[in-house]
A and B are shown apart, each in its own frame.
Chain A
Amino acid sequence: MATDLHRHVSVGAVRVRELNKSFGDHRVIRDLDLDIQPGEFVVLLGASGCGKSTLLRILADLDRDITGSVEVATRRAVSFQSPRLMPWKKVWRNVVLGLPGKPDRQRAEAALAEVGMTHRSDVWPKVLSGGEAQRASLARALVGEPDLLLLDEPFSALDALTRLTAQALVADLWALHQCAVLLVTHDVEESVKLADRVLVMKDGVIAHEARVELPRPRDVTDPAFVALRAELLGHLGVGVH
């Protein structure tokens, strides 16, 4: 039966115990435990269909049909694979949409400045490029100063060059805001580049966990980086020869 055990914690950013989630007979998440410390950058890595996006949706409180206990920081924000800006609101109004009270232009501009989008604050979202829209979406997520930022494959729809800039931007924003981040991705290199801790998810369980102790900003040609990437690919079941 569906139970809703969402409680809000002030200690950690996320605390999940014995989480189970099924779609019909198919168990997508099995007895999953997860802890994320305040300020920690965790990357959830997995092939498509492994349950990683489902887990993120549960943490975002978009799916309550679960069993187990889930505690998530009250102030949390989500940025999706597609930017999901309201096309009928100018960019700056999109950024402050969730804030209480009257739309605060100054606050929107400050958030847009962090992502380098000040010059685009007064345009309609439909005229933004993919990378710009994703940056606006990040500004919208961060404007409320969340304790937990949930990112669902935010770079996967971007072209390779834009993706590199966007990854660097997320790293900078994380350093600036010091919020906990859970980033869901299937990109191994991205996970090693950004994470404090990489979790490899497979068949609804966390199959492997790796701490990334490399100094930031990380160099993809560093032998330790290459080795860790190979290790994680191995855990994903992709051999590198």
Chain B
Amino acid sequence: MIVGLAGTPGGKRRRHPPRTLVKAISPIVLILAWYIASEAGWLSRHTLAPPTDVLSKAGELISNGELQEAILASASRVGLGLFFGLTAAVIAALISGLFRVGEDVIDAPIQMLRTVPVVGLIPLLIIWFGIGDQPKLILIALGVFFPLYLNLFAGIRGTDPALIEAGRTLGLSRFGLVRHVVLPAAIPNGLVGLRYSIGVSWLILVFAETINATTGIGYLINEAREFFQTDTIVLCLVLYAILGLIADIIVRLLERVLLAWRPTFTGT
């Protein structure tokens, strides 16, 4: 009898559990460990509230509407900050990527500024813009600007010269070359930058909301700290994670649509 290389002798194939299940194992184990440690009394309520408390706190804050309000406030800060920061990044990357003069004028100062840690600007932003929503938006916009700008610029400059030549021999105009060759070639890099930017936006939101916020998830955290409410703090951290995850899923969907032409390696 000849046995195929892929099969196991005897004709029985081992069934693998679905991947989503495999991925779910480690988070479930962690939460279970947390729960057991809390129940057994190894973990004090003041150090870390048990998962059951976090859940009931979530129920409480949802029923009185505080949670929805906080999420809306934080998400709109991130949304607006991203909108302004990303728009500026795209415009700047196009100008400096497509024109040599633009590179000299725009890229050089940006390369200098990007080494400054954005959160280090908080004191200056407070002096300039006070403690309202304005410095928070500017901080987020600044933070998300750099990853997208740098990657998009690299993508534009990394366009295969052979394809540009091919476009020229086809009689494409300068605008046609940008539209049909350079911009599509820059999209993979641009999406990498977008993912970094979105990741950074939530990170900076946490810092931004420590500036005397009166709404938002950061406000909830600060208030909870005053009263040692670790359940609220953990709940807010989970919220940050979920919101970040949702943003990441959106970018991945975008990649699937925009990069359909690219055969991807998905691993085995």
Contact = CB atoms under 8 A, between A and B. Distances in A.
B186 to A, nearest CB: 11
Interface of A is mostly: loop
A81 B260 CA distance: 26
Contacts of B260: 124
Interface in B157-198: 162-163, 165-172, 180-181, 184-185, 187
Given A84-B163, A86-B180, A97 B172 contact: yes
Contacts of B65: none
Contacts, number: 51
Given A89-B180, A97-B172, A84 B166 contact: yes
Nearest to B171: A98
Contacts of B166: 78, 80, 84, 86
A37 B172 CA distance: 27
B170 A98 contact: yes
B10 interface: no
Interface string B244-266: 00000000000000001111000
Given A60-B169, A88-B187, A98-B170, 15 more contacts: A61-B169, A62-B165, A62-B168, A77-B170, A84-B166, A87-B262, A88-B185, A89-B180, A89-B184, A97-B172, A97-B180, A98-B167, A124-B261, A126-B263, A144-B171
25 contacts: A62-B165, A77-B169, A77-B170, A78-B169, A80-B165, A80-B166, A82-B162, A84-B162, A84-B163, A84-B165, A86-B166, A86-B167, A86-B180, A86-B184, A87-B261, A88-B187, A97-B172, A98-B167, A98-B170, A98-B171, A98-B172, A124-B261, A124-B263, A126-B262, A126-B263
